[in-house]
Chains A and B, each alone.
Chain A
Amino acid sequence: MGSESMTQAKILIADDERSITDGLSAILADEGYTVEIALDGQRALERLVAESYGVILADLKMPKLDGIALLKELQQRDIPTECIIITGQATVDSAVQSMRQGAYDYIEKPLNAEKLNRLKALIPKALERFALHQKNRELASKLEGLTHYGELTGHSEAMRHVYQVIEAVAPSTASVLILGESGTGKELVARAMHSKSDRSKGPFMALNCAALPKDILENELFGHEKGAFTGSTNEKAGHFEMAHGGTLFLDEVAEMAPDIQVKLLRAIETRTIRRLGGKKEINVDIRIVAATNRDLQQAIADADLREDLYYRLAVVELFLPPLRERVGDIKLLANEFLARYASENNKKITGFEDTAWDWILAYHWPGNVRELKNAVERAVIMTRGTSIGPQDITPRHIRLSGENPGSLTIQVGSSMADARRKVLLGTFASTDGDPVRTAKLLGVTPADVQREIIAIVRGGSDEDGRRGAPPASAPRSQPRPAAVKPPAKVAAKGKAKAKSGRAR
């Protein structure tokens, strides 16, 4: 914060001694501050409620509301300001107490030239802290009602935290490692980070390190000179060069071959690259954002990922929660996808039926947002009505879980619970996922069918409560990728970074 903006913040002096308040006010006004006076604690509180003051200089002993009581009120009412307590020597204990109550600092009377100089030095620091807190409050408030951030969608606390981390990290040049299951939107986070940064006018280049064979990946990353290898008739710039002045997003970075990792590490450290077959060092100004859904601890232990590369990439780690951990966002996402695909397919679909919502909200979406998006797109295309029913949205593997429509094989010795599940799923599949017809065929209520299917989908049994033991035909809950845990060797670093970057 510049000195000009600091002097714009107002200062309130709360003291019942007119001779002191007038003199102090004159001294601070001469320093360029806007100063107001309240002659007792109660009036000071009223002013602070009504207007914003960067700093309040409060006497500890005041009529109506003393300094400590005023501080307590400020805390309780969450009034943003920094309080400097002015106290007599006999009340140093109270000043210590006031520090515990959140005062910025305290100064003992009498305010001789030395103390006044100290006060003059304290005020800019207090105003700086006030401005920082104010900025954080504004950011939190800005993000509070937010449902969209860049191309990301979600208003859950987990996603708001992700937005906050992006907002904080985007302006820096620090490398960021995004951790999260497949389909959680890691590339969207990288794009948001790019668009919120000073590099937003530069290019955003994305490369999936798992999708390309080693040689091609190396070529894609660093480019090549003419004649570098058989068939290279022209020179070609790699992603590092093409991302110059912008952001390079490396997805599934832990899948990269070890010798390319060495080159990548060198490029990140020196900010220079050399094309394949080239001799010239080329300077690149890029910000690296990497992502993985791998268990990094295991990847490092298996020597699939170099530990030094991990340190370089994970200056800030950002964890993207799986969709099942942000259930509050599912409706928002599903409605958005519905509107998007209904429009794209020229269909007039009013929404989801209640039973479809039951499904959507109960299902654990192992493929995360991508699976939900695909399910909604499929449902929009397949539905013949004006709304999406459970049979439209039910995941395909659930609907098709019956081995043979019309017949079931149950092994002798199967438990009654397993047999029940197989009968239920088989019948459900044979009705193409229609809970009402299933219920009619099985002689139970549609609510029973839904409850049991939901229990199966969640990986347990509504009947015997054995969660985590789904039948062979039901989808197993995907194990949470251990990639979200920092490797054992770097646990301390991971903890230290948690404050600044970890979104979990």
Chain B
Amino acid sequence: MSGGNEHLSALWLATLQRLADRAAHDVRNALNGVAVNVEVVRSRAGRGAEGSAIAPFATAAAAQVEILTAQVDALVALLRPATVPVDLGVLLGRLTALVQDTTGKDVITLDLPANSGSVTSSAGGDATRLAVSGAFLAALERPGGVVCRLGTDEAPTVYISSSAGESFVVAQDIVDTVTAAGIQLRSSPDGITLSFPSSSRD
């Protein structure tokens, strides 16, 4: 592995850890929701309570299991080696599933075109993930939520902006590393635009 690749891998690992750190609270909350609601079901069922007194809590526990499943799925997928070309819509979906609740409810808005599956990046898997995750985490640091949009005008493009219109910056070592991997990263007051080398999807 070249020095550049090692640096890229180290940066991606560090970014993944930041994502996991943000997700930990949500994972624990979801587990908590499951545990508490199951306890209500167990306790009330044990006392022979009516179904109507039990059903809402069984439903709530099931909903928490769904959230937990999506979070674990997203984390496991991000831990696996990426397949190139990288589906940018799927990547954004996983990031959103992982950290959806870290700053409150429904603060991450995904604006994906109908044919989002065709928007892919042929840059390296780790480089693509690093670029999108780096911008995504930087936007999350700002209050008010994040808006993510996909575009295909000239090249596969990801637009990431803060819902409150606040500007933000991506760490310079991430910018340098992803630029070296062929990804263009442009900052403007409206947000960050990432342009990826195009490819047809496998």
Chain A residues with CB under 8 Å of chain B are 16-17, 19-20, 22-24, 26-27, 30, 61, 63, 88-90, 109-113, 115-116
In the complex, given contacts A23-B60, A26-B44, A109-B29, what are 8 additional A-B residue pairs having Cβ atoms less than 8 angstroms apart?
A17-B29, A23-B36, A26-B57, A27-B36, A88-B29, A90-B21, A90-B24, A110-B32
Query: Given known contacts A19-B60, A19-B63, A63-B104, is B28 in contact with A116 (CB within 8 Å)?
Result: no
Q: Quick check: A110 and B35 within 8 Å, CB to CB? A: yes
B43 close to A (CB within 8 Å): yes
Instruction: List chain A residues, Cβ under 8 A from B72.
Output: none
Task: Determine the distance from Cα of A116 to Cα of B64 in the docked complex, in whole angstroms.
Answer: 18
B31 close to A (CB within 8 Å): yes
B25 close to A (CB within 8 Å): yes
Instruction: List chain B residues, Cβ under 8 A from A111.
Output: 32, 35-36, 39
Q: Interface residue count for B (Cβ, 8 Å)?
A: 24
Task: Determine the distance from Cα of A112 to Cα of B29 in the docked complex, in whole angstroms.
Answer: 12
Residues of A contacting B: mostly: helix
The 8 Å CB contact of B104, one of A16, A27, A89, A113, is A16
Q: Quick check: A89 and B57 within 8 Å, CB to CB? A: no
Q: Write out, one digit per residue, whether chain B residues 43-68 have a CB within 8 A of any chain A CB (1) or not (0).
A: 11000000000001100110110000
Task: Determine the distance from Cα of A115 to Cα of B36 in the docked complex, in whole angstroms.
Answer: 10
Instruction: List chain B residues, Cβ under 8 A from A19.
Output: 33, 36-37, 60-61, 63-64
Instruction: List chain A residues, Cβ under 8 A from B104.
Output: 16, 63
The 8 Å CB contact of B36, one of A20, A61, A63, A88, is A20
Task: Determine the distance from Cα of A37 to Cα of B21 in the docked complex, in whole angstroms.
Answer: 28
Instruction: List chain A residues, Cβ under 8 A from B29.
Output: 17, 20, 88, 109
Query: Given known contacts A16-B104, A109-B28, A110-B28, is B43 in contact with A23 (CB within 8 Å)?
Result: no
Instruction: List chain B residues, Cβ under 8 A from A27.
Output: 36, 39-40, 43
Q: Which 3 A-B pairs have the closest CB atoms?
A: A23-B36, A19-B33, A110-B31
Q: Quick check: A23 and B28 within 8 Å, CB to CB? A: no
Task: Determine the distance from Cα of A139 to Cα of B61 in the docked complex, in whole angstroms.
Answer: 46
Rounded to whole Å, the gap between the CB of B51 and the closest CB of chain A is 15
Query: Given known contacts A19-B60, A27-B40, is B28 in contact with A113 (CB within 8 Å)?
Result: no
- A40: nearest chain-B partner, CB-CB: B104
- A19: nearest chain-B partner, CB-CB: B33
Query: Given known contacts A17-B32, A89-B28, A90-B24, is B44 in contact with A23 (CB within 8 Å)?
Result: no
Q: Quick check: A109 and B39 within 8 Å, CB to CB? A: no
Instruction: List chain A residues, Cβ under 8 A from B39.
Output: 23, 27, 111-113, 116
Q: Quick check: A20 and B32 within 8 Å, CB to CB? A: yes
Q: Quick check: A23 and B31 within 8 Å, CB to CB? A: no
Task: Determine the distance from Cα of A115 to Cα of B104 in the docked complex, in whole angstroms.
Answer: 26
Query: Given known contacts A19-B64, A23-B40, A27-B40, is B32 in contact with A109 (CB within 8 Å)?
Result: yes
Query: Given known contacts A17-B33, A109-B32, A111-B36, is B25 in contact with A23 (CB within 8 Å)?
Result: no
Task: Determine the distance from Cα of A301 to Cα of B6 in the docked complex, in whole angstroms.
Answer: 86
Task: Determine the distance from Cα of A115 to Cα of B61 in the docked complex, in whole angstroms.
Answer: 17
- A16: nearest chain-B partner, CB-CB: B104
- B43: nearest chain-A partner, CB-CB: A30
Task: Determine the distance from Cα of A211 to Cα of B42 in the docked complex, in whole angstroms.
Answer: 76
Task: Determine the distance from Cα of A113 to Cα of B40 in the docked complex, in whole angstroms.
Answer: 10
Instruction: List chain A residues, Cβ under 8 A from B24.
Output: 88, 90
> Which of B24, B25, B35, B60 has the most chain A CB within a 10 Å cutoff?
B35
> Which of A20, A89, A111 has the most chain B CB within a 10 Å cutoff?
A20
Task: Determine the distance from Cα of A89 to Cα of B25 in the docked complex, in whole angstroms.
Answer: 9
23 A–B contacts, CB within 8 A, in A order: A17-B33, A19-B36, A19-B61, A20-B33, A20-B36, A23-B57, A23-B60, A26-B40, A26-B44, A88-B25, A88-B29, A90-B25, A109-B28, A109-B29, A109-B31, A110-B28, A110-B34, A111-B32, A112-B35, A113-B42, A115-B35, A116-B35, A116-B36
Instruction: List chain B residues, Cβ under 8 A from A17.
Output: 29, 32-33
> Which of B28, B32, B34, B44 has the most chain A CB within a 10 Å cutoff?
B32
Rounded to whole Å, the gap between the CB of B53 and the closest CB of chain A is 8
Task: Determine the distance from Cα of A298 to Cα of B57 in the docked complex, in whole angstroms.
Answer: 74
Task: Determine the distance from Cα of A30 to Cα of B42 in the docked complex, in whole angstroms.
Answer: 12
Rounded to whole Å, the gap between the CB of B72 and the closest CB of chain A is 14
Instruction: List chain A residues, Cβ under 8 A from B64.
Output: 19
Instruction: List chain A residues, Cβ under 8 A from B33.
Output: 17, 19-20, 23
- A24: nearest chain-B partner, CB-CB: B36
Q: Write out, one digit per residue, whether chain B residues 61-84 have a CB within 8 A of any chain A CB (1) or not (0).
A: 101100000000000000000000
